[in-house]
């Protein structure tokens, strides 16, 4: 594992998880998705579907529907409580996030080859002192990030399977998104694609 401080508050840990750890986490995510299947979030008001499908684990999960964005304890379609956060992820948080309180939410994003994520800020949480820790599995993506306002200059980086990105401090509220998936860059997932897990303190 090597760590790169990309800018103050934004740290990239390359290959924080080796292949065996990625396979183990993949299997745990598969198990979670058996209990709480991927759902199709839609944009508030317009109802336009995201190209990414989502699920969650932990006490709270992030959802988006016509009523808005929020954290809630259960699956929006089935009412099933979100399963616990896997120990592997809690360990990454303890080792890398340097934040006293444990995460209470973990969003699971699944991207097929054509999915992407528009520029956004993560500002639905109550405590911005807590960082967000993101884990990538499967195909690589081009991740884009900018400043605290929309439309300024941006930079991009490639996130690969096993990489961990931490957003904290002055980078906590920066705009970011996923330009595109780079298909066939990993053999980890079947069906192929990319999974991104983000650990947060929602409350
Ligand atoms: C993704 N990530 O990598 C999207 N948000 O698929 C995020 O939106 C994100 O990586 C907050 C903090 C870290 C992230
Ligand atoms: Fe985000």
Ligand positioned closest to the Cα atom of 172:
1
| Shortest-distance Cα residue to atom 12 of ligand 1 | 132
Mean pLDDT over all residues of the chain? 97
- Ligand-binding annotation for 129, yes or no, is no
- Enumerate the β-bridge partners of residue 8: none
Does ligand 1 come within 6 angstroms of the Cβ of 178? yes
Looking at the structure of the chain, the number of domains it has is: 1
pLDDT per residue over 23-48, tens digit each? 999 999 999 999 999 999 999 999 99
Q: What is the CA(81)–ligand 1 centre distance, in A? A: 23
Q: Is residue 124 within 8 Å of 107, Cβ to Cβ?
A: no
What is the chain's Cα-based Rg? 16
Does ligand 1 come within 6 angstroms of the Cβ of 52? no
Q: What is the CA(35)–ligand 2 centre distance, in A? A: 24
Q: Which domain holds residue 33?
A: 2-200
| Shortest-distance Cα residue to atom 5 of ligand 1 | 122
pLDDT per residue over 134-166, tens digit each? 999 999 999 999 999 999 999 999 999 999 999
Cα angle 171, 95, 69 (rounded to 5 degrees) comes to 45
Q: How far apart are CA 97 and CA 85, in angstroms?
A: 15
Tokens standing for 192?
């192929």
**Cβ within 8 Å of residue 21, ≥6 positions away:** 88, 162
| Shortest-distance Cα residue to atom 14 of ligand 1 | 134
Tell which atom from ligand 1 comes closest to the C-alpha of 111. 6
Q: How far apart are CA 187 and CA 167, in angstroms?
A: 27
Give mean pLDDT, residues 111-132. 97
pLDDT per residue over 42-94, tens digit each? 999 999 999 999 999 999 999 999 999 999 999 999 999 999 999 999 999 99
Q: How far apart are CA 15 and CA 161, in angstroms?
A: 7
| Shortest-distance Cα residue to atom 1 of ligand 1 | 196
Nearest in space to 38 (alpha carbons), one of 103, 126, 115, 132: 115
Ligand positioned closest to the Cα atom of 105:
1
Q: How far apart are CA 129 and CA 155, in angstroms?
A: 24
CATH number of the domain residue 170 falls in:
2.60.120.590
Residue with tokens 């616990």: 84
The answer, as to whether pTM is greater than 0.75, is yes
Judge whether residue 1 has pLDDT over 90.
no
Q: How far apart are CA 202 and CA 127, in angstroms?
A: 7
Judge whether residue 114 has pLDDT over 90.
yes
């Amino acid at each position: 594992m090597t760590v790169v401080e990309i800018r103050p508050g934004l740290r990239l840990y390359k290959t924080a998880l080796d292949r065996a750890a990625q396979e183990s986490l993949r299997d745990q995510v598969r198990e979670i998705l058996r209990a709480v299947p991927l759902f199709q979030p839609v944009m508030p008001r317009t109802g336009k579907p995201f190209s990414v499908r989502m699920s969650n684990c932990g006490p709270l999960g992030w959802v988006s529907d016509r009523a808005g964005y929020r954290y809630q304890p259960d699956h929006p379609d089935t009412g099933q409580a979100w399963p616990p956060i896997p120990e592997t992820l809690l360990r990454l948080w303890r080792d890398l996030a340097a934040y006293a309180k444990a995460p209470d939410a973990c969003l699971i994003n699944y991207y097929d080859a054509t999915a992407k994520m528009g520029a956004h800020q993560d500002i639905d949480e109550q405590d911005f002192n807590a960082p967000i820790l993101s884990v990538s599995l499967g195909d690589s993506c081009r991740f884009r990030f900018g400043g605290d306002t929309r439309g300024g200059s941006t930079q991009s980086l490639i996130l690969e399977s096993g990489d961990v990105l931490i957003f904290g401090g002055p980078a906590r509220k920066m705009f970011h998104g996923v330009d595109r998936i780079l298909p066939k860059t990993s053999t980890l997932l079947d069906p192929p694609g990319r999974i991104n897990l983000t650990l947060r303190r929602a409350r």
